[in-house]
Amino acid sequence: MENKEFDGFVMPEARKLPVFLLLDVSTSMGRDSKMDELNRSVREMIDTFRKEQLVQVEICVSIITFGTEVKVHTELAPAKDINYTDMTAKGMTYMGRALDVAYDMIEDRTKVPKNAYRPIVVLVSDGAPNDDHWEDKLIKFTTTGRSSKCDRWSLAIGKDADVSMMKRFLDHPEKEVCFVEDAANIHKFFRFLSSTTIQRSKSANPNQVINEFFTMQDPIDLDFN
Amino acid sequence: MREKDEMRVEEIGYASVRGLLHEKSGLPNQDAYSVKRYKFGTILVVSDGLGSKPFSAHGAKSVGTAVDKAVQIWNGYKEKDIRLLLPLVVSIWNLEIFPYAQKDCCATCLFAIVSNDGYVYLGQLGDGSIYLSLDHELQLLKEKEDDFTNVTVCMGSFTGYADWSLKKIFVGHRPFGMVMMTDGVSETIIEDRREAFIQLLYKRISACENLSERNNFIYQVLSKWNPVNAGDDRTLICYRRR
């Protein structure tokens, strides 16, 4: 057999494991060092992904921020290629629009190819959405299209966070909203998220969301509501 | 396997290799295949056991046995409606996996029956691909959906016969070819290069002298897969009738 004649038929890139971060950057996130801590935590998570020497899986990250303006802060790209710039807090909490932007990105097969592993979508907020029709957009995101099949997590920061809304964002009835009382613990959630993502990427079937993750009992001093 | 039957020559090569992610996790190859030739025709099966299930390797192996036994019963009847084969396959698979539970043995089921009555019967439950080349046309039994949206359809979890893709094709005495593969192969081939890949397989298979050479050739192709896309188990059967 001429060994090289079959080389050109196999995809040269590893399959993607996309991670979408939907991050609240409303004015309230600028208080009590929450935004500073969020920036540090996201940066650390991307660094962790970058350092992992994965061959068969490419962890890709996209960041969508929502204040009054909804912005694709980071286009979906391999973690190793991301040059992270800090987010700043400003404005209202237009989460519904952010869900629409994320929905469209996940539907786009040029960004999330057909052979991508099940994407992870993370919602982080310290408040409640206040744009029009956010509830319809949440229902659309969680019940239709490809986003409805994603592995979805949420982090509520502080007592003003709308935990019941964030519970509706999750993809499994046994999953719980992760809750941190203050900014100092945000990094714990992101370390937990980094760890579960890397575990998935190294598992025999990276599409599989491991059930133990749903019922993990306070693995890193996070509160689950 | 090269058999002459009047004007026909059947050439078949097949192999399966363990994925790198399974090697790292200490898991066995959870794919399986079965190739059987009878007076009434040839039965080809590939199956991919779901990585997360404890006995999926056993489930995948049982798929080959179940299809083989079911076809032999089904073939004894005059009515060759392929839908009537499915309950037999499922029932025998349940017997084969016993005492394990269905949910612990989940596996896909892709089969082809090349019958001497001039028909080819194809069936697929779950991921993977069956390509059939006839009269210079390449047909794909089932178009793939998103990988992460349809991971649960397999033996042991399917909800009805609508989950199956089925086809009956009259080939008569014409030459034709088929390639059956688990998703470790089908989902890692560049989409617009699939036909060229299949044509090259046919060409190389026909150049081999015997079954051992053909199987070794397929094994080499699968073993030398680009490492970045070699995480999953890979199984392929190439069939050609000239």
Number of A/B CB contacts below 8 angstroms equals 103
Q: How far apart are CA A28 and CA A30, in angstroms?
A: 5
- How many domains would you assign to chain B? 1
Contact (CB<8Å) B146/A117: no
Q: What is the pLDDT of residues B179-212, one digit of tens each?
A: 999 999 998 999 899 999 999 999 999 999 999 9
CATH hierarchy code of domain A13-224:
3.40.50.410
A163 and A173 in contact (C-beta within 8 Å)? no
CATH number of the domain residue B97 falls in: 3.60.40.10
Q: Please spell the DSSP secondary structure of A152-163, one letter per residue.
A: EEEEEESTTS-H
Minimum CA–CA partner of A151 in chain B: B148
Locate the domains of chain A by residue range.
13-224
Contacting B with CB below 8 Å, chain A residues are 1, 3, 5-15, 55-57, 114-119, 146, 149-150, 202-208, 210
Q: How far apart are CA A107 and CA A77, in angstroms?
A: 16
- Residue B100 pLDDT > 80: yes
Residues of chain B above pLDDT 90, percent: 75
- Tell me the chain A residues in contact with residue B52 when contact means C-beta distances shorter than 8 Å: 204-205, 208, 210
Closest in B20, B196, B226 to A10, CB measured: B226
Predicted ipTM > 0.90: no
Query: Exposed, middle or buried by CB within 10 Å (0-12, 13-18, 19+), for B137?
Result: exposed
Asked if B21 lies within 8 A of A203 by C-beta distance, the reply is yes
Q: Return the bridge partners of A71, or none.
A: A65
One pLDDT digit (tens) per residue for chain A, 225 residues: 555 788 889 998 888 999 999 999 999 999 999 999 999 999 999 999 999 877 888 999 999 999 999 999 999 999 999 999 999 999 999 999 999 999 999 999 999 998 898 999 999 999 999 999 999 999 999 999 999 999 999 999 998 999 999 999 998 888 899 999 889 889 999 999 999 898 888 777 777 765 544 433 344 455 655
The residue segments making up the domain with residue B128 are 2-241
Closest residue of chain B to A53, computed from CA coordinates = B228
Q: How far is CA A134 from the centre of its chain?
A: 19
CA distance A102 to A140: 11
Structure tokens at A185: 């613990």
Which pLDDT belongs to residue A210? 55
What 3-state class would DSSP assign to A220?
coil
- Nearest residue in chain B measured CA to CA from A210: B52
How many CB atoms are closer than 10 A to CB A5? Answer: 12
Q: Are B165 and B141 in contact (CB under 8 A)?
A: yes
B28-82 confidence digits (pLDDT tens): 999 999 999 999 999 999 999 987 778 999 999 999 999 999 999 999 988 889 9
- The angle, 0 to 180 degrees and rounded to 10, between the axes of the packed helices B211-223 and B194-207 is 150
Q: Which of A7, A11, A114 sits opposite B146 (nearest CB)?
A: A114
Cα B181 to Cα B189: distance, rounded to the nearest angstrom = 11
- Structure tokens that stand for A151 in this block: 């592995």
B50 touches chain A (CB under 8 A): yes
Chain A residues with beta carbon closer than 8 angstroms to that of B194: 9
